[in-house]
Structure 1
Amino acid sequence: MNGVKAAQQFCSSYFLSNSVMYMIRDMRIQFGTLLADIGLINLPTGHQAILCAGLYPSVAATEEGIGGTVLASLKQKAGFTAKGRPVWYDGRREVHIHPSSINCSLKAFQYPFLVFLEKVETNKVFLRDTTIVSPYSILLFGGTINIQHQTGLVTIDGWLKMAAPAQTAVLFKELRLTLHSILEELIRKPHKKTTPPSDMFWRHEIISFPSENGCTKHKK
């Protein structure tokens, strides 16, 4: 019996709603991420990266995380925007965190990027099931990386922007290649034990990275 059928059978046997249980799970993830973002708890390493890998390119960013030319075009389309809260864009237009999300009431975020599960359009375009993700998560599991060596900026998929030394961006490209090769090997030979890169390799790569918070401080 697979996981989905087992979950449905469990809910049925205890008179529980399967959809409500999934909703509780999603809310638990959101709440845990929020507590971690404000420093009250520590989530397991890679939590945000896993969500980013699964949901990208369903991503939005504030002005701080968008390239200048793209941002100017987006702001022109958006028109008047109320002040006091971060304004989010999905690369094509202004979007809003859904009122049911615990992130909706926040006025400041640790990082200018989020991933979302669902986009709903009524009088506005709302994002549901949102999670703030770090620049490193975007670099590792996002789209095409374009390194601007002279300015110290990196763009992802032509519109997401972050500040990072060229060396850091190149290291992430190498990490991507290594990760992809491991995953491809596991897909081709799922029963074969794949030897991961040595601890010394990962230690060298990680030590070479600057502080992650520095990736969100852009040059004007």
Structure 2
Amino acid sequence: MKRQFAELLHDLGFVANRDPRDKEVNINSDNIGLVKAVICAGLYPNVAKLTNVPRSMEKSPSLILHDGQKVAAHPKSVNANEKVFMSKWFVYHTIMKTSKIWVYDMTGISPYALLFFGGKISTEEQLWNDEMKDVVVIDNWVRFWCPAETAVLVKKLRKQLDKLLEEKITKTGVTNWDKSSKEGVLMHAITDLITMEEENISNG
């Protein structure tokens, strides 16, 4: 499967080598944060927000969907018995209803993954912890607080990324990761933001 996918990407002109083990096509394979961001891009808008982590090991974490529907992590999920999560946000692959509504194949994602690979971004001023602050909003639901300058930077980078993706679709070509190129500068800036420690952003 991996080799077939690599050959397909090569035939389409997105990578320079059809060997899935080639170093040049695996420069980000160890970057877990970026891998999760790619998963986010593929599964969006299947997003759930963590609402409660029970103390009992017999109960699964509770989440809520965009439409307000309450769900829970399936007991067989690796997240079912977790008690500490780095993020309140998850993407998931499947929902199934039995005795409860369960989410399967869920992955915790960073706020930046949603900002770059989620839906429409807007900014607004809101009361946040008794202070008026700039809030980044995705599809009128997902909300994060971050410094105003960071919000402006993300919106600019997102616009450039969307433009680059459109160009890649209409005119395929190998991604240039060289930091001296315009494309390389953009890709490295986005990668750095996605993988950096979430020091200046708070989950809402």
Q: Using the TM superposition, give the Cα deviation of residue 44 of structure 1 relative to its aligned residue in structure 2, in angstroms.
A: 4.0
> What is the 5 A alignment of 1:18-167?
43-63=31-51, 83-84=54-55, 86-91=61-66, 92-149=68-125, 150-167=132-149
Q: Using the TM superposition, give the Cα deviation of residue 137 of structure 1 relative to its aligned residue in structure 2, in angstroms.
A: 0.6
Q: Percent identity?
A: 32
Query: Given the superposition, is the C-alpha separation of residues 194 and 114 from structure 1 closer, same or farther in structure 2, using an over 3 Å criterion?
Result: closer
The alignment covers a number of residue pairs equal to 163
> SS in structure 2 opposite 1:60?
strand
Q: Using the TM superposition, give the Cα deviation of residue 55 of structure 1 relative to its aligned residue in structure 2, in angstroms.
A: 0.6
> SS in structure 2 opposite 1:158?
coil
> SS in structure 2 opposite 1:148?
strand
Structure 1, unpaired ranges of 5+: 7-41, 64-80
Q: Using the TM superposition, give the Cα deviation of residue 94 of structure 1 relative to its aligned residue in structure 2, in angstroms.
A: 0.9
Alpha-carbon distance between aligned partners in 1 of 2:148 and 2:77, rounded to the nearest angstrom = 36
Check conservation: 1:112, 1:216, Cα contact below 8 A: no
Alpha-carbon distance between aligned partners in 2 of 1:82 and 1:62, rounded to the nearest angstrom = 8
Alpha-carbon distance between aligned partners in 2 of 1:169 and 1:135, rounded to the nearest angstrom = 12
Query: Given the superposition, is the C-alpha separation of residues 213 and 126 from structure 1 closer, same or farther in structure 2, using an over 3 Å criterion?
Result: farther
Task: Tell me what 1:3 maps to.
Answer: 4
Check conservation: 1:147, 1:166, Cα contact below 8 A: no
Q: Using the TM superposition, give the Cα deviation of residue 168 of structure 1 relative to its aligned residue in structure 2, in angstroms.
A: 1.3
Q: Using the TM superposition, give the Cα deviation of residue 87 of structure 1 relative to its aligned residue in structure 2, in angstroms.
A: 2.9
Query: Given the superposition, is the C-alpha separation of residues 193 and 133 from structure 1 closer, same or farther in structure 2, using an over 3 Å criterion?
Result: closer
User: Which structure shows the bigger proportion of residues in helix conformation?
Assistant: 1
Query: Given the superposition, is the C-alpha separation of residues 109 and 82 from structure 1 closer, same or farther in structure 2, using an over 3 Å criterion?
Result: closer
Task: Tell me what 2:201 maps to.
Answer: 215
User: Which structure shows the bigger proportion of residues in strand conformation?
Assistant: 2
After TM superposition, the structure 1 stretch with the greater mean CA deviation from structure 2, 118-127 or 140-149, is: 140-149
Task: Tell me what 2:159 maps to.
Answer: 177
> SS in structure 2 opposite 1:53?
helix
Check conservation: 1:182, 1:194, Cα contact below 8 A: no
Alpha-carbon distance between aligned partners in 2 of 1:170 and 1:109, rounded to the nearest angstrom = 28
> SS in structure 2 opposite 1:176?
helix
Structure 2, unpaired ranges of 5+: 8-29, 126-131
> SS in structure 1 opposite 2:105?
strand
